[in-house]
Copies of this chain bind each other. A is one copy, B any other.
Amino acid sequence: MTAAFFASAEDAEEAFYDAIGRADLEALMNVWADDEEIVCIHPTGERLSGPMAIRESWRAIFANNPPLTVRIKTSVSWKSLMLDVHSVVETLYLGDEPTAHGPLLATNVFQRGANGWRLLAHHVSTAADGAAESDSKAAAGSEKGRRRTLH
């Protein structure tokens, strides 16, 4: 399989969730960085380190579940020249079920290399019921506008 080139972390992230939706293990693994120390933390609390353990865990997930559809909303991202970190809220649909599972909270870490942007870490955990986000501005009426220090 020819490795795809991802021009941005957003492109790599889209390919990652698209591969989940198609249960395409090769495409999924292709999004990860070529690094022995990539990390995947599942909502079950299982922490996988390295491509072999991560591949096996996703192979089992695809084998033991109906098709998964993950919709994501990126809450905030922090970009630098070589790293890009996204804090996203995932909503999960199993097979034909109309009811969503989640929300799940993910921190996705991407790295720029010779082959474009790739995934270094995918940390997912279950959100508290109905509390995917508690925002200072909503909670406390801060008058400060949105401000980003990094991009």
Contacts and interface: CB of A to CB of B under 8 A. Distances in A.
Q: Which of A89, A127, A133, A149 has the most CB of B within 10 A?
A: A149
A36 B146 contact: yes
- Copy count, this protein chain: 2
Interface stretch (A19-27, A50-58, A60-68, A93-101): A50-58
Interface string A20-48: 00000000000001111101010111111
Given A121-B85, A125-B125, A136 B80 contact: no
Contacts of A147: 35-36
A78 interface: yes
A120 interface: yes
Contacts of A109: 78, 85, 107, 109
A105 B149 contact: no
A142 interface: yes
Interface of A: 33-37, 39, 41, 43-54, 56-57, 75-76, 78, 80-83, 85, 87, 89, 105, 107, 109, 111, 113, 120-121, 123-129, 131-137, 139-140, 142, 144-150
